[in-house]
A and B are shown apart, each in its own frame.
Chain A
Amino acid sequence: MKRRDFFRIVAASGAATAAGGCQGGVEHILPLVVPNEQIVPGVASWFATVCRECPAGCGVLARNREGRVVKLEGNPDHPVNTGALCVRGQAALQRLYHPDRFSGPQRRDGAALQPATWEDALGLVASRIRELRAGGRGGAVALVTHLESGSLAALMDRWVQALGARPRVTYEPFGHEALRAASRQVFGRDAIPYYAFDQAEVVLSFGADFVETWLSNVNHARDFARMHGFRGGRAGTFIHVEPRQSITAANADEWIRNAPGTEGLLALAVLRSLVDQGLADRRFAEAVAGVDVARVAEQSGVPAETIRHIAEVFGHARPGLAVGGGAAVTGTNATATLAAVHLLNAAVGAVGRTVRFGPDSAYGQVTPFADVARLVEAMRRGEIAVLLLGPDVDPAFTLPAGLNFAEAAGRVPLVVSFTNAPNETTRLAHLILPATHWLESWGDYSPREGVLGLLQPTMAPVRDALPFGDALLRVARGVLGTEEGQGPLPWPTFEAYLRSRWEPLVGDRWGAALQQGGVWRETPAATVRARVAPVDPGPPALQGEGLTLLPYPSFRFYDGRSAGASWLHEAPDTMTQAVWDAFVEVPAETAARLGIAPGDLVRVTSPQGAIELPAYVSPTLHPSAVAIPVGHRYAPYHVGRYVSAPPTPMNPVALLGGAVDEASGGLAYLAVKVTLAPTGARRPLAILQATHDQDDRELAQHVDLAAAREQALRGAREPHALPSMYPPQQYPGYRWGMAIDVDLCLGCQACVVACQAENNVPVVGKAQAAYGRQLHWLRVERWAEGEPTHPTNLFLPMLCVHCEVAPCEPVCPVFAAYRTEEGLNGQVYNRCVGTRYCGNNCPYHVRRFNWYTYEWPEPLSVQLNPDVAVRQLGVMEKCTMCIQRIIAGKDRARDEGRPVRDGDIMTACQQTCPTQAITFGNLKDDGSEVSRLQHSPRAYGVLEELGTRPSVLHLRKVVRQHA
């Protein structure tokens, strides 16, 4: 008997015995009752809409299969993000299918929530408002939402006017008020400009985390890559000033670590140096006459020589771009700091070129924090009787502890939240009227002048929910006692209002606008002239004693609104590689002094309060600072399943008093000093990467700029070829391959979450991740070189490299790992018996083992991609190069009777990459982009000296020895 026959008989007999038990199971298949023109079962429909996870307003295409959205991708036509999405945009689906979403309206009954009907709930709100109006107290109604800039904003204005409510509040925890005030001060324009990173030759950033959360991170990342990436011998320069090495700082050619709060002084010193070196307009001399570079050097800890050097590089740029921002720059001196940065731009002629007023940002419409604080004061005084909090508005979590929102809300007789999943604010609300998720809603949003994005429902609501606009209209009808079609708010639904506003704009081209995802036009830059006057960004006022607290927005959770997605908790923070838990970054010097080891639970105390967090000992953080990411929290379904509940809140706003930058009314995040005390307890972090030291393994490689230029002229790469006794492998059709440009990778983790969404990769939780059992098919490694306090960072996206001579294949006893004839390393799950030999033999550590049968808490399972098998306990899995997309791409090409072309197939990671660092294609086609890149002199295979001949090549990072 042959071996194969033996297996066949044994397997068949097993199946035969098993089949007996299955006889009773009858599966039903249900047809549609009435066919839907838009749905062909098995074929995806795509709907264009706008991402509302932050105010950047990126265009989104939602992939709908059988009526359920299963994946989000960037809209390639949208001018903000041109096809890319960030990590939060990718994870928005998990908030759509949030397991804790409210199933309909809830009414508070003591501590518990009781289900209510829409009729009763909306009727209650309307009757309260009606009573107030009858008593002449219409102004006791307050409406607070996040930033809205389209029809919903207009509708709310009408609503407030018709009902005589308090002027509505647009609350954004990161509202960039100081940037707006600085524009007013320097250019006389109350607006936040558009920053054209791609037009700059040198970018000089003072704390602006523009590839993480600042203003429009996907747009900036894309433009930054165009400006900074090595292409045809040209590469821009990026200098970043920040006390902490953020992801943005890690991408700088020169990261300058300053004392916290001295960014404005440095900007002025650079301007002074520009003037002294004759690199700036003479009329700016007046603004910096009193600036002493040597003194600034002393205050900031940045050597005078470095300041002069920055000025020289920046002054010679044609053109340059200076940006300032980030939570670390929002001290009580924020407006002066940003005014200094504006002056710097004006002095080198960047205004109108890289800094453009005209396409002004919607951020300019945010209500300054000081007014939000005033509203909280009014609540405390009992002046507010009805408080309406729009979708996702969560002041109980995001407002500084000093305002004590919870206590103030206790004095409001009716607090209504339109948030659709539980958070700190819904815990205080008397009434919860869950609004539809943005993927279920009509709407429009304009992130900047000239770009008007259109939202449409991409699927039916997952839970019983009402569009926020509809709820407002119904309440207004109840208050005013009007019928549909009458009164100041005649529209029956928000959709009707939206259409009425778009009618004059698009006429009969409504369908085309929906398909495109909105309408856009070029907005010319307005001419502005700088008012040259001295500014004084003196040291910010800091309350308390000890180390300066740097609360910074998390690139994964923003202000906390995205934190319900478990994918985001499982995607590591790139710099620390920590998953799930929050942490306090403690400088190494302080940690040594206080005897704090990594993972020690540390009590962080400010004059406002204290929180306990595990320590991450950072060799790079400024010795006088402590940093904590804002926005970290767990959803109820995370606790117990993926993590255990932390003893104190993790959000550092609990340490803030609510100090205000007087000039702008913005919240000062850089406002307190804190003391650290080890509690004696430990809560070790789950850190996915054991070391950031490459130890001469040259996994992530780099090349000097001059050498890269020389190589680019010399020609193609010489492949690393080891002699072989075997004939070369033949590829009868296509051969798939990939090129990943390490020079372009910013470490933003968008690819990691995109891969997780596309390929049904389960979430394992903190404890399992700490064992190294995370299942990501793709990870972004951070490697640090040079001085530990001031390293050069290399971000290396690592996935299965699909070796031509793959170490995993010969060790598999059941041929589950094998080489396909299109150059992939296939992994056949139904063959795999889980010996894990392949994982042990893989030098890249990219194979993942299912230690359990993982579950998707309902309804998260609805998101699963129907084109990809869900793996079970005991199965090895790994990157397939999105084989389902390859099959679909080949199928489309076959339909059109042509071979697959470049761009037909995009892997999920490639599709979402804001910098287009990942290129996939056919290596047999010499004209394809991937072939061109793989022949680049910068191309190398990770660990190719092992003779594995990877199909995925990386391109070396280009480093500038001197910026």
Chain B
Amino acid sequence: MSVRAGVGALGLALLAILIVLALSSSRRQPVAAQPPVQPIDFPHSIHVQTYGMDCQYCHADARRSEYAGLPSVSRCMGCHKITAADRPEIQKLAGYASRGEPIPWVRVFQVPDFTYFPHKPHVRAQIRCQTCHGPVETMRTAAGVTGQSLVNDLLHLVGVRAAPPPLTMGWCINCHRAENAARGARAPLDCVACHH
């Protein structure tokens, strides 16, 4: 009798641990959901909103490469040789340029090594950058949050501030399915399209 109770208690305890883990994981965020501290306090919001710059002006490789690319230090200096050259953050930039050093930006978005994510076909399919990268134009320092989904928008309407969906494979697949259904895109659903 007591043995059975012991097994039962152990089972319950294990179940409880699983439930706690499951709950905690449902609130899981991408690694850098909170904006990291970058070597230069680069404001995305000012560049996009105030100056109306396109994402691909700086992230120029997105349309032709697997990687979106970062602007070279000399591209930054193209404007900042003159623009706001007296600000302390810009002087940091000028320091990197004069020393010929790359800026050690902290990575915000990352997919695992076994995943191949090419930007180019997404740009070609006219997917907005914000779909995956979230509202970067409103952020001072970019954080690793994904774009809003319809469910999130509805939750926002009723006043619940739910976290955006995590950057996981299920989220990728849902979008691929939705795009294929909605506008006949040919987004691949094969595992090996991304895992090879």
Contacts and interface: CB of A to CB of B under 8 A. Distances in A.
4 closest pairs, A vs B, by CB? Answer: A13-B21, A42-B65, A42-B66, A31-B70
Interface in B98-155: 100-107, 110, 112-116, 118, 120-121, 124
A32 interface: yes
Given A9-B25, A23-B31, A40-B65, 14 more contacts: A12-B21, A29-B70, A30-B102, A33-B73, A33-B100, A35-B72, A41-B65, A41-B67, A42-B61, A826-B190, A829-B114, A831-B195, A869-B196, A887-B193
B190 A821 contact: yes
Nearest to B186: A733
Interface string B21-40: 11011101001000010000
Interface of B: 18, 21-22, 24-26, 28, 31, 36, 61, 64-67, 69-75, 96-97, 100-107, 110, 112-116, 118, 120-121, 124, 186, 189-193, 195-196
A28 B38 CA distance: 10
Nearest to A26: B106
Nearest to A30: B102
Contact of B73 (A31, A822, A828): A31
B102 A19 contact: no
B125 to A, nearest CB: 9
A824 B22 contact: no
B69 A883 contact: no
A32 B21 contact: no
Contacts of A880: 192, 196
Interface string A31-48: 111110000111100000
Contact of B102 (A22, A31, A895): A31
Most chain B C-beta atoms within 10 Å of own C-beta, residue among A9, A29, A828, A867: A29
19 contacts: A9-B22, A10-B18, A12-B28, A16-B28, A26-B36, A31-B102, A31-B105, A33-B73, A33-B101, A34-B74, A35-B72, A40-B61, A42-B65, A43-B64, A820-B191, A820-B192, A826-B190, A830-B114, A830-B195
B170 to A, nearest CB: 8
A19 B61 contact: no
A870 B196 CA distance: 9
Interface in A4-25: 9-10, 12-13, 15-17, 19, 22-23
Query: Which of B36, B113, B116 has the largest count of A CB atoms less than 10 A from its CB?
Result: B116
Interface string A823-865: 0101111110000000000000000000000000000000000
B116 A867 contact: yes
Nearest to A9: B22
A28 B103 CA distance: 9
Contact of A9 (B21, B104, B106, B118): B21
Nearest to A25: B31
Nearest to A13: B21
**What interface size band does chain A fall in?**
35 or more
A822 B192 CA distance: 11
Nearest to A824: B192
Given A869-B196, A891-B121, A32 B112 contact: no
B99 to A, nearest CB: 9
A43 B68 CA distance: 11
A828 B191 contact: yes
Nearest to A66: B67
Nearest to B120: A891
B64 A40 contact: yes
A520 interface: no
Interface of A: 9-10, 12-13, 15-17, 19, 22-23, 26-35, 40-43, 733, 818, 820-822, 824, 826-831, 867-870, 880, 883-884, 887, 891, 894-895
B155 to A, nearest CB: 21
A327 B72 CA distance: 56
B120 A31 contact: no
Nearest to A895: B124
Given A19-B28, A40-B61, A822-B190, A894 B72 contact: no
Nearest to A826: B192
Contacts of A870: 113
Contacts of B106: 26-29
A687 B104 CA distance: 50
Contacts of B74: 33-35
B104 A32 contact: no
Contacts of A12: 21-22, 25-26, 28
Contacts of B28: 12, 15-16, 19
A820 B73 contact: no
Contacts of A23: 31
A40 B21 CA distance: 43
A45 to B, nearest CB: 12
Given A9-B22, A13-B21, A31 B72 contact: yes
